[in-house]
Amino acid sequence: GKTMSISVELSSTADKGIVWSERFRGPMEAVHEIRDRIVHAVINAVEVRIPLNEAQRALLKSPENLDAWSAYHLGLHHMYRFNKTDNDAATALFERAINLEPGFARAHAGLSFTHFQNAFLRYTDMAEATKLAHRYAIQSLERDPLDPFGHFTMGRVQWLRRDLEASLPWLEQASTLNPNYAQAIYSRGWAEALLSSADASQQNIASALALSPLDPFVYGMLGVRAMSHLVLEELPQAAEWSERAANSPGAHALIEMIAVAAHGLNGDDAKARAWAASARARAGHLGREDFLRAFPFRDARIRTWIEKTLTRYGL
């Protein structure tokens, strides 16, 4: 039968350089399937490749020559590395973007994100970081109430307040404003797993991974999938997904603790001990109380189960 071949390119208007390209082939009768593949590929390219390209361009500029747009994207580049040094660098870049352009809503959302990270990973005082994350989420939404990133950050602020139910409307609104916003869909899955809605969580995580397979939050998506299996007491699957999560780029010590819990509960003592040693070496200030604060499972039985396992491995 007849086949079709479609080439798609994403180019920079500044220098005509190709940011991303891909060729799609298939039989003519599969035109609708190919169209869907193209849509998903373009969405992923826009969400991932454009910020990466803008950050690479910003790296070529001297710091004093960064405009608000460049400072913002370079801030994202540092923010997604998930360590204190880069998070501090991201904070400074978002502040520069706001100083240059006070109405830049996404830069305010970026600051909410970095202060969330300060609280979540306990880089700084949690209470103060939570206040700042909330303040900048409000300021982002005041400047652009239709920006999905602002709703996303406001939803995540509710996690710091341990109010998982309150996070869902904000995350759902982010998804309504941008139905292809993988990070918001993943975050809904995160909250659902902790609320023991494991099936809904797994559906949202599968959607997020399909939409953005190169997302900087892939480690988190895989970790939430592991948590959903813990909730369902499917221990071999929990161990498998937690191993993938902990080995993914960007995974931090709290993700490694998911692997400790999953492998420990699944009876793989060697892997549980190895991940516990890695978590202690990377973030000795974090322990089981921090894990359960960051991941407030509503099911008391699951919480106790995980707490005892982390304690057994010295966390």
Query: Please, what sign has the CA dihedral across residues 203, 207, 209, 215?
Result: negative
Strands in the chain per DSSP E: 3-11, 18-27
Give me the count of residues in the chain: 315
Strands 18-27 and 3-11: antiparallel
Residues of the chain with CATH 1.25.40.10: 61-179, 182-315
The pLDDT of residue 75 is 93
The pLDDT of residue 43 is 64
Instruction: Please tell me the least confidently modeled range out of 5-9, 85-89, 264-268.
Output: 5-9
Give percent above pLDDT 90 in the chain. 74
Decide which of 3.30.70.1230, 3.10.180.10, 1.25.40.10, 1.20.1050.10 is the CATH code for 61-179.
1.25.40.10
Element of type H or E holding 287: none
Distance CA(87)–CA(85), nearest Å, equals 5
Give percent above pLDDT 70 in the chain. 89
Cβ–Cβ < 8 Å for 268, 306: no
Mean local confidence (pLDDT), 146-161? 97
Question: How is residue 280 written in tokens?
Answer: 């202690």
The pLDDT of residue 161 is 94
Q: Is 258's pLDDT higher than 70?
A: yes
Cβ–Cβ < 8 Å for 224, 232: no
Q: What is the mean pLDDT of the chain?
A: 91
Hey, what CATH class is 182-315 in?
A: mainly alpha
With bands split at pLDDT 50, 70 and 90, how would you rate the model's confidence at 48? low
Mean local confidence (pLDDT), 83-107? 96
The pLDDT of residue 40 is 67
With bands split at pLDDT 50, 70 and 90, how would you rate the model's confidence at 110? very high
Q: How far is CA 257 from the centre of its chain?
A: 17
Largest CA distance in the chain: 65
Cβ–Cβ < 8 Å for 171, 159: no
Q: Is 159's pLDDT higher than 70?
A: yes
